Chain A
Amino acid sequence: MADEKRKIPFYEGMWTTTSDGEARLLGSKCPSCGELFFPRRDDGICVRCQHEELENIEFGTQGRIMTFTSVMLPPAGGYYHGPVPFNFGLIDLDDGVRVESQIGGAFEKLKVGMKVKLFIETLYVDEEGNEVQAYLFQPIKE
């Protein structure tokens, strides 16, 4: 459809969408020491044990908030085009990897330890009318 806005990722190679429509973050796993990495390490180097052939993996979608805040002033430098204020923090995925992410929902309702799930949302609409999408975690029920 010609009038439908195009959806494009803010950055290539960070997530994939499965056939049932669920998003999964893409990462790397070290076959030697077992360490996990997000985002995927294209150079294939394990920065924990220096093994050189990391495996590609997809992570599960759920985790818990480890720490969080809300940014109330626009970040400097002109890199960020999303809404302000926005919540962000560190998420410990159930798979055993820590991910930095924006966090959806009202800031006042967020808590350390809260269960969250991965979603793909529009971060902003660019000059050509494309919906620029990013991964984000939203609180879900226990």
Chain B
Amino acid sequence: MKTTWQRRPVFVAGLGLSHFDYLPDVPPTQYASKAILHALKDAEMEWQDIQAVFCGACYLGVAIGHKIIKEIGLTGIPIVNIENACSTGASALRLAFQEVAAEIYDVVLVVGVEKNPKGAIPSKAFLDWESQLGFNFQPGNYALETVKYMNRTGATEEDISLVTVKNRKNASLNPNARFQTPVTLEEVMRSRMVAPPLRLLHCCPLADGAAVTIICSQNKVKSLSRAVKVAAAVLRTATYKEEYVPGGIIGSSKFPATVNSAKASAREAYEMSGYGPEDIDVLQAYDTVSSSELWDIEELGFCREGEAFRLLREGAFDIDGKLPVNTDGGLMGRGHPMGATGLGQIIEVVTQLRGEAGPRQVKRARIGLAHAMGSGPNSTVTILSKE
């Protein structure tokens, strides 16, 4: 693997984001193509500048990228469709990053798009017999992980509820978020029990939406002051029997896993970028459920296990805190269009580093990290810098 100084620098030059919400009457090709045209304008580029496309989606069937590009204008360039569960968008960006770094292309378009089936989604990570026994219910699987986490760390239901309160407050400052209103601690703790200890407001809402980035080499960047460098783009999967119930993997009691894919992907991203957790000014952690944000912050190396909920109570993860986390509302407030989520996180980090986040702007943000974790399990870590 080439280190940072061996490959040419890669930049995010353009961003396009649709509103994340249920969009039952709008075809995904429409909101995705609009987001692409927005990203082109943002990058000050023409459609003919795009040399390759990676398009990520989970529930949109065969060749969705081709269907979207057809709505803008076919130009004969390679289009590759990607599905990698919750890490889909970030996995697509990683491939674009590699192709630009390797000098195969100068300008690559990355699209993450989703239109979700309604209701709780039956995951594709489960076998038929598991589904027949009712195990294919993601809030339940995250509840099993949450019980383990609470037992290990002493975190309480109130602690995990405070994650929702923070993220919904951040979402209320983000016009693209699905939820535009904050919630109180009481509202979270009185919301409907789904799978104890998880309540409805501990679970992220699904959404439809599209997120788009234009990735390019330095010579193609029009506005260097707005371009953000991709310092690392890493994908790791689990080693033998790393227990991750939402990913359909039950651990081994005889041979427990010694590697954690989130930790391994973070370590690799820190090595690739030359940065460490202490350098990160803004973090997009993976809050599929409120409790997962807490263990995610710990596994990425920002504090020791069991410290995240105390830091949360001290305000460390607020927009004006020491390490702002999920400044756009996270999955909890922004909504979770599966194929678009990973890119949505990256777009928020880039927006923060550009200084264009308006009322939710983090002060002096120079380096940011986005982590997506999903079925597989996959773990993607993307580090972006403005130095």
Contact = CB atoms under 8 A, between A and B. Distances in A.
A75 B121 CA distance: 8
Given A76-B122, A107-B196, A48 B129 contact: no
B133 A76 contact: no
B253 interface: yes
A80 B133 CA distance: 6
A14 B132 CA distance: 13
Interface in A71-124: 71-73, 75-77, 79-82, 86, 88-90, 92-93, 96-102, 107, 112, 123
Nearest to B117: A76
B252 A48 contact: yes
Interface stretch (B25-33, B73-81, B139-147, B351-359): B139-147
A73 B144 contact: no
Contacts of A101: 133
A68 B137 CA distance: 13
Interface residues of B, number: 39
A48 B144 contact: no
Contact of A100 (B240, B250, B253): B250
Nearest to B120: A76
Contacts of B198: 69
Contact of B135 (A47, A67, A88): A88
A36 B254 contact: yes
A69 to B, nearest CB: 4
A68 B147 CA distance: 7
A69 B131 contact: no
B249 to A, nearest CB: 10
A133 to B, nearest CB: 12
A90 B133 contact: no
Contacts of B251: 90, 98
Nearest to B251: A98
Contact of B144 (A86, A89, A93, A99): A89
A106 B85 CA distance: 35
B131 A77 contact: yes
B61 interface: no
Nearest to A108: B196
Contacts of B253: 66, 92-93, 96-98
Contacts of A82: 133-134
B278 to A, nearest CB: 33
A79 B144 contact: no
A100 B250 CA distance: 7
Nearest to A37: B252
A79 B250 contact: no
Contacts, number: 117
A35 interface: yes
B255 interface: yes
B193 interface: yes
A31 interface: no
Contacts of B119: 76
B322 interface: no
Contacts of A14: 129
A108 B122 CA distance: 27
B250 A90 contact: yes
Contacts of B194: 72-73
Contact of B134 (A39, A47, A75): A75
Contact of B195 (A48, A71, A79): A71
A62 to B, nearest CB: 14
B196 A70 contact: yes
> Which one of B119, B144, B197 has the greatest number of beta carbons of chain A within 10 Å?
B144
A36 B129 CA distance: 19
B136 to A, nearest CB: 6
B252 A98 contact: yes
A72 B283 CA distance: 33
B148 interface: yes
A96 B254 contact: yes
Interface in B173-217: 192-198
B192 to A, nearest CB: 8
B241 interface: yes
Contacts of B129: 10-11, 14, 39
Contact of A75 (B137, B143, B245, B252): B137
9 contacts: A66-B148, A67-B151, A69-B140, A71-B137, A72-B193, A72-B195, A76-B119, A90-B245, A98-B250
Interface of A: 10-11, 14, 33-36, 39, 47-48, 66-73, 75-77, 79-82, 86, 88-90, 92-93, 96-102, 107, 112, 123, 134
Given A69-B143, A70-B195, A90-B245, 12 more contacts: A11-B132, A48-B255, A72-B195, A75-B136, A76-B120, A79-B122, A79-B136, A82-B134, A90-B251, A98-B250, A98-B252, A100-B133
Interface of B: 117, 119-122, 128-137, 139-140, 143-145, 147-148, 151, 192-198, 240-241, 245, 250-255
